[in-house]
Structure 1
């Protein structure tokens, strides 16, 4: 077990509070909450840390002195914070979901390997659990030619402002992939629409699958239809701003979620699904479990996505005690 403290950046937010709480139970006295809001961080016995200021972040790390790992629960503008961690041999767990940022951290693999640090990317529900399900389905068919990932989120869950803003901004991206009718455990048949989660860009590299597509829907059918009907209009900044404000106020659903991975190879099919409640909480739990494994010293030095690490393959089963259910499904999506 690697000694030292764990710095949870954004540790007072919806995801970070779960990370900090879980790690605090496992590693009493070793968790430090950090964030740009100094007052909130100090109330939790933490420190100020600004992810837009890599030099300032370096000073924070050096001031603490014995940081073993950093858990990023907020998205920085670039890979500068990751560089500050890895050059010091500090492990990194990143819940980021933006392709550009994950690719930037991936380019630091040589730096991480040289310093003996591990960085784990694609940590959360989507990406994260979707990646792990995709790997299972891929292995079940002997190497998939195509993987379809479906994510259903609860419209009633109160997500943080950054999460809502991120969703609306990515909603505006063009969608070349057609909608898909999918059976989701506990929710029945749903129409899901193309959405640029980073897993669809990562998995072709990590699994060698030629075609990967991720789609999104909400537990509210009406809100799903309305949201994606506004996709073209959301390219305008004013519309995105208004839509973000509305989604932060409207909670027309529950807090459940479901993810499904379908793999195809010729006439072979395999599908797995996970269901649970409170996606932000489960994202935090995934990050906490990954951090615990990382501190145990069982992960290799370098930058890896979660599906590339065999030690994390059974994470879906480990989450069962937190109400996350894993199922093997029969039959492909309706198409």
Structure 2
């Protein structure tokens, strides 16, 4: 496997696409502290990016994006904090030998970028997918739990999100789309540090599609609940009755996205738990933190720093496939992220 070695200071700049958004602003600030003068924020609002010393980029305009790369000069890494319509932007980066960190969470788009593995290898570029909280930290905890039981037959991932946090439009729209998708798995009651036992409902996070391939686990299910119990119950009751299926229509999706962005009933805390089972062996890892968007940005920043200063394999990889990124949860301790369990016997309530 070919690797790329960087020595402390990147050879070129870091372009953060969506660099003034909820996640992108965190990425930009963290990287600017580590690599002063080398971080360029990008976005569609030309006034805002010029004020920040950045460039205008639109991920829906592949030709314009290529011109923006030329305008920036020598770019080493692109951090995608907004989701493009397809893998065209990733292809442009990787064909040029530019490394990529993708915060995207849509399985279809993640798979399309993963298909560019040979393109990246040929150009000597590295790309990291599944970067953030979910996917991201969920993937890393899943790997730890998987290894704790000597190879899991089943993984159950549980995510609790703070319903009081102000999320960006892309994140809310993605959540609305997920609520409209049909599910077959059942809800599960799980003990979450600091939140007690909660009922979490199956939700189409991309980690459950990725981990069977990257870890070789036959069955993976990710479930979601909110810190507000009444809001969780109401939301998933509406899904069971089919009321949210209309969100597949663009007009209804826009209306629901706007409505959900105005709902702030809880706090900004989150919790993750990964349970692994193999025969009679059970183990879990869990963590808690505050500010999902902020932590997503910090995960992306740490991944980018590793690409720039470490030895990374060329090609396209998910975060859990890179051993050098396994310690990311510990690096977030100074930002309030706390690991609560590590491969301990599971005594939480059953289903």
Aligned-CA RMSD value: 1.0
| TM-aligned CA deviation for residue 333 of structure 1 | 4.9
Give the direction of change, closer, same or farther, for the CA distance of 1:60–1:221 in structure 2 (3 Å limit): same
**Using a 3 Å threshold, how does the CA distance of structure 1 residues 239 and 62 change in structure 2: closer, same or farther?**
closer
- In structure 2, the gaps of 5 or more residues are 1-6
Alignment partner, residue 191 of structure 1: 199
Q: Does 1:334 align with 2:344?
A: no
Whether 2:228 is the aligned partner of 1:215: answer no
Is 2:138 aligned against 1:130? yes
Map of 1:306 onto structure 2: 319
Whether the 8 Å contact between 2:40 and 2:55 is mirrored in structure 1 is: yes
Q: Could you report, residue by residue, the CA deviation over 1:240-278 in whole angstroms, capped at 9, with x for unpaired residues?
A: 444322211110000000010000000000100010000
1:216-295 to 2 correspondences below 5 Å? 216-231=224-239, 232-236=242-246, 237=249, 239-295=252-308
Structure 1 residues 28-47: aligned runs within 5 Å: 28-47=36-55
Aligned 8 A contact 2:55 2:72 in 1: no
CA distance in 2, matches of 1:130, 1:293: 19
CA distance in 1, matches of 2:230, 2:254: 21
Q: Which residue of 1 aligns with 2:114?
A: 106
- Higher alpha-carbon deviation: 308-317 or 33-42: 33-42
Write the distance in 1 (CA, Å) between the matches of 2:164 and 2:141: 25
4+ residue segments displaced more than 4 Å: none
Report the Cα offset of residue 239 of structure 1. 4.7
Deviations 1:29-79 (A, max 9, x none): 000000111111111111100101111111111222210000000000000
Alignment of 1:308-327 (within 5 A): 308-327=321-340
Contact 1:233 1:239 in 2 (8 A): no
Displacement of 1:162: 1.5
CA contact (8 A) 1:159 1:280 kept: yes
Q: TM-score, normalised by structure 2?
A: 0.94
Q: Distance in 2 between matches of 1:241 and 1:89?
A: 37
What is the rounded CA distance, in whole Å, between the counterparts of 1:58 and 1:116 in structure 2? 19
1:313 deviates by: 0.6
**Does the CA-based 8 Å contact 1:272-1:326 persist in structure 2?**
yes
Pairs aligned (count):
335
Q: Which residue of 2 aligns with 1:86?
A: 94
- How far apart are the structure 2 equivalents of 1:58 and 1:244? 31
**C-alpha contact 1:35 1:47 (8 A) present in aligned 2:** yes
TM-score by length of 1: 0.98
Separation of aligned partners in 2, 1:173 and 1:116? 38
Matching residue of 1:115: 123
Instruction: Tell me how far apart the structure 2 counterparts of residues 23 and 117 of structure 1 sit (CA, whole Å).
Output: 20
Give the Å deviation of 1:125: 0.1
Any residues of structure 2 matched to 1:36-185 within 5 Å, and which?
A: 36-185=44-193
Report deviation, 1:298. 1.6
Q: Give the conservation status (yes or no) of the 8 Å contact 1:151–1:258.
A: yes
Structure 1, unmatched stretches of 5+, are: none
For the 8 Å contact 2:42–2:55, the answer to whether it is kept is yes
CA distance in 2, matches of 1:45, 1:112: 29
